[in-house]
Structure 1
Amino acid sequence: MAAPFVPIIITTLHNLFTALWIGGMLTLAFAVFPSIMKVFGKSKETKLSISTIKKRMSIFVYVSMVGLILTGLLMAKQSGQSTGFLTFGNPYTTILSIKHILYILMILLSIFRSLIIDKLDKLTPPVKEKLNMIILIINILVGIAVLFLSAYISFMPTV
């Protein structure tokens, strides 16, 4: 029997996009941003560094969003268990739908964080920084929930 080469590649890409996005958020929140703050303090260099990193990382996030959608659609088609987007007809589709809702929340949080917060003129720079970090942490927690649901689905018996 030949190895299922295409499904393996699709799943590998899906996992890579997931690692890139969620791993990137974890790295930013717990290594990069604290290191920048330690070296530069609350200076112009800090703001410039964080802004530059945020812009560069957003490219990876957007590529990951598209990649996850495409590979996720292909994986759902291959599984044979999915009965459509956001359906709750059986335990598999219920968990998958909850995962998709959380994924959509991750997209919205990322877009809000990367495109909207800095344009909110009524907020002071310290409030924007704090809001950015809070949303990043929330998005990390949602991402961990998505990973948990993915693992859960992988151990569910096939219908």
Structure 2
Amino acid sequence: MLLNVKESCVSKAISRKLTPEIWSPPTGNNLKFNVDGTTRGKPGPTGIVGVLGNSQGRILCLFSAFVGSHDSNADEVMAIHKACVLCASNHLLTGRNIEFASDSLMAVSWINNASVIGNLKLINIIYDIREHLQQFEGWTVIFNSRETNSEADILA
């Protein structure tokens, strides 16, 4: 399911809610964007997905896209990038605290640690993610185990 974030994200909520048993909600008025990627082969056809939810578990936005042929670390970085681009393009979200959650420890460490370059093929995307993150009131990019990232994992 692909939504046009500029028109649909936040302005109208999706009726389905995230369940706390398989998804840990953000605190307070914060938002959480769970992302995931899936690759068939090394490299192989790659898809990315994301689910943006609020502290009440309401789904505010979903995305899903085919992004070519990549490896498993690249798909996670691309999913985080897509989530950042979508949020940065919506003026209702840039002033919010947003938590981006991925089940790739490698991708999260590449984005969070400025001294880590990561995969040289992804360096421009990683720098672009870091630039987009600066537009938000507050942000975190965190590692979530596959079990607590299951809403995105199911879509992937």
Q: TM-score, normalised by structure 2?
A: 0.27
Structure number with larger C-alpha Rg: 1
Instruction: Select the structure that is richer in strand.
Output: 2
TM-score by length of 1: 0.26
Structure with a larger share of its residues in helix: 1
